[in-house]
Amino acid sequence: MIIENLQKTDIVRVSNFYSKHLKRIVTIDVFLPPAYYQSDDKYPVLYFNDGQDMPVVGMEEILNQLYNQAQLPPIVVVAIHTSHDRLQEYGTANTPDYKNRGSKAANYTDFVMHELLPYIHQTYRVYKDAQRNAFAGFSLGGLSAFDLVWQHPYAFSKVGVFSGSFWWRKKAYEDGYDDENDRIMHVTIRRSSLKKGLKFWLQVGTHDETDDRNNNGVIDAIDDTLDVIYELKRKGYKDDDIKYLCIEGGEHNHHTWRKCLDDFLLWAFATQ
């Protein structure tokens, strides 16, 4: 089947964005929807960690396919490139892990909230309200996205976590670690109040890893994600607020994440 007048996204690269909070230049790719320049419309926004990986996961191709199949309304995607300091800039802003990884996560959060968002709001025709804004990421970038959305429900309403690093913990196994008290995001949810209006898309693969610390026959990546869902439901979120996608044979890599990117995009924006 030949589709005439194919619609295509336009990608704008911002390569000279200096962040005072990160003390470095941040590269950003902005995916503009078809006919952006021929319209006066405003658009929802998806912010995405590890923006340098968008070609590998096929963001442009998948957006174009969904647009041309009339499945996805036009959106703006802001893909934020990471740096060599990824293990320090991503994580949970209030608490580094037991190896002090994530020590700059608070700086990254400040960059997003106080530098990036104002820039995007001033430069592009986008909605500012939380209901039309989402954040997503892969692995540790997924944990970072979850933390950002959880801490800023006035700015974002949806989060997409691909193989999230929910193992992020305050203690090493050999130092008396226990699931209940040492997984940072689980404890953060438990100690927080309900953030009304948030929705969660959480993906994991059955081959994400092989570790099974409690020897229950379920890999840690699945256990950690299911336990996040447990904490969310205990906090008051309903089944309609959470989508859990477990991919049989799915691995901790871009090939698996590419296969489910369209699922996330449709979940986050097709119903708006």
- Measured distance CA(57)–CA(55) in Å, rounded: 6
- Measured distance CA(186)–CA(49) in Å, rounded: 21
Domains of the chain, first to last = 10-269 (3.40.50.1820)
- Note the pLDDT tens digit of each residue in 14-54: 999 999 999 999 999 999 999 899 999 999 999 999 999 99
pTM attached to this predicted model: 0.95
pLDDT at position 178 is 83
Q: Are 185 and 202 in contact (CB under 8 A)?
A: no
Name the β-bridge partners of 245. 203
Distances (CA, A) of 31 to 11, 13, 144, 207, 214: 5, 9, 21, 31, 43
Over its length of 272 residues, how does the chain's per-residue pLDDT go in tens digits? Answer: 344 455 789 999 999 999 999 999 999 999 999 989 999 999 999 999 999 999 999 999 999 999 999 999 999 999 999 999 999 999 999 999 999 999 999 999 999 999 999 999 999 999 999 999 999 999 999 999 999 999 999 999 999 999 999 999 999 888 888 888 999 999 999 999 999 999 999 999 999 999 989 899 999 999 999 999 999 999 999 999 999 999 999 999 999 999 999 999 999 999 65
pLDDT at position 4 is 46
113: which DSSP letter? Answer: I
Alpha-carbon torsion (153, 188, 139, 237), positive or negative:
negative
Q: Give the other-Cβ count within 10 Å of 27's Cβ.
A: 16
pLDDT at position 31 is 98
pLDDT at position 6 is 58
- Note the pLDDT tens digit of each residue in 239-267: 999 999 999 999 999 999 999 999 999 99
- Measured distance CA(264)–CA(102) in Å, rounded: 26
- Measured distance CA(248)–CA(205) in Å, rounded: 6
Taking 3-state DSSP, the helix, strand and coil percentages for the chain, each rounded to the nearest 5, stand at 40, 25, 40
